Amino acid sequence: MELGVNIDHVATLRQQRLTSYPDPLQAALRAEEAGADLITLHLREDRRHIQDADVRAIRPALRTRMNLECAITPDMLAIACDIRPQDVCLVPENRRELTTEGGLDVLGRYDEVAAAVARLHDAGIRVSLFIDPEAGQIAAAARAGARVIELHTGAYADAADAGARAAQLERVRAAVAVGVGEGLRVNAGHGLHYDNVGPVAALPGIAELNIGHAIVAQAVFDGWEPAIRRMKALMIQASRS
Ligand SMILES: CC(=O)[C@@H](O)[C@H](O)COP(=O)(O)O
Ligand SMILES: NCC(=O)COP(=O)(O)O
Mean pLDDT of all residues belonging to the chain: 97
- Distance, CA 115 to ligand 2 centroid (Å)? 25
Separation between Cα atoms, residue 4 and residue 129, nearest integer Å: 15
- Strand 148-152 vs strand 126-131: parallel, antiparallel, or unpaired? parallel
| Structural domains in the chain (count) | 1
Catalytic-labelled residue, pool 69, 134, 150, 208: 69
Among 12, 37, 40, residue to substitute to test ligand 2 (most atoms within 8 Å of Cβ): 40
Q: What percent of the chain has pLDDT over 90?
A: 96
Ligand 2 pocket, residue 191 CB under 6 Å = yes
Closest CA to 58 of 88, 8, 24: 24
Q: Residue 95: give the domain boundaries.
A: 2-240
pLDDT digits (tens, 9 = 90+) for 138-190: 999 999 999 999 999 999 999 999 999 999 999 999 999 999 999 999 999 99
Closest CA to 91 of 77, 75, 103, 78: 103
CA dist 27 to 12, 39, 93, Å?
13, 10, 25
Cβ atoms of 190 and 154 closer than 8 Å: yes
Residue 100 has pLDDT above 90, yes or no: no
b/e burial code for range 189-202 (CB count within 10 A of at least 16 → b): bbbbeeebbeebbb
pLDDT at res. 167? 98
pLDDT at res. 101? 85
Cβ atoms of 39 and 32 closer than 8 Å: yes
Residue 9 assigned as binding residue: yes
CATH number, domain with residue 68: 3.20.20.70
Q: Compute the radius of gyration of the chain from its Cα atoms.
A: 17
Q: Tell me the HSE value of 68 on the side-chain side, using a 13 A CA sphere.
A: 30
Stretch (H or E) spanning 154: helix 154-157
b/e burial code for range 69-84 (CB count within 10 A of at least 16 → b): bbbbeeebbebbeebe
Global pTM reads 0.97
Cβ atoms of 109 and 90 closer than 8 Å: no
Which of the four pLDDT bands, split at 50, 70 and 90, describes residue 96? Answer: confident
- Distance, CA 63 to ligand 1 centroid (Å)? 23
pLDDT at res. 179? 98
Nearest CA to ligand 1 atom 7: 100
Q: What percent of the chain has pLDDT over 70?
A: 100
Cβ atoms of 85 and 126 closer than 8 Å: no
